[in-house]
Structure 1
């Protein structure tokens, strides 16, 4: 039945992304209200660069979505494992807490792309500047690679997966 659907199958992935984007907009409104409440006024350029720097994070998550959707069509438990792994990576990312330099967790987070893809946009919005821009660019290139690879694999595998479902 899924192979008979006359729409791009990637639209299903982007529909899920759209749901996440709607949740993001709601949280953005709440964050803006918190900024007003606490008197934090980021500059216009900081907001633009901060928002634009979230694009690699979106590419990474959509790329992971492409890859996971293909594997999950065959192995159903992958969805649960992926949620667990991504939650673990986000907990390990220093989003709400600073990492002490030279610690084991700081060394492990040097290889976590979520660390840079979340912290750099936050620093750009709050402070108008950020450090580790080279690491952010590497994480952005990795995000682009994951997205392109996921997109390509999805398009190659989609007829076979649709038949299997």
Structure 2
């Protein structure tokens, strides 16, 4: 059960990323964000439902044709989470032993800045690798889009792309 849900999230995440990348290439400058779950994914942004439907269909076709690179998004939260966790850990390590003195903490600021910068540089390629191996799966298998709904929340259009595994479809 858990493995099935994780598989759905990973494949939906890949389809979300592919959709966003294709849409961004067609309409540069459009601000969007996405979120995936076992039922599909959400797209936040001012886009037309028909254009989204066409883009999702293209994303499915291209992923199935082997364009797995579309599943890795440069602005994915995974990238930020990996870098943030590593940078926070580096900052914490740099502050060990500084006691409670403000002066000792300020004296360590150059060390903290250097370590955090170094860690951010070193972890930059790690986020896409984690996407590729852990948080997305470009092999959609039997995953199919079964509906797209549009909602308005606080004046912002939100689209829900519903998916399901449909063997033999």
The normalised TM-score by structure 1 is: 0.28
Q: Normalized per residue, which structure has more helix?
A: 1
Q: Normalized per residue, which structure has more strand?
A: 2
Instruction: Return the index of the structure with the highest Cα Rg.
Output: 2
- The structure, 1 or 2, with the larger RCO (C-alpha pairs under 8 Å, 6+ apart) is 1
The normalised TM-score by structure 2 is: 0.27
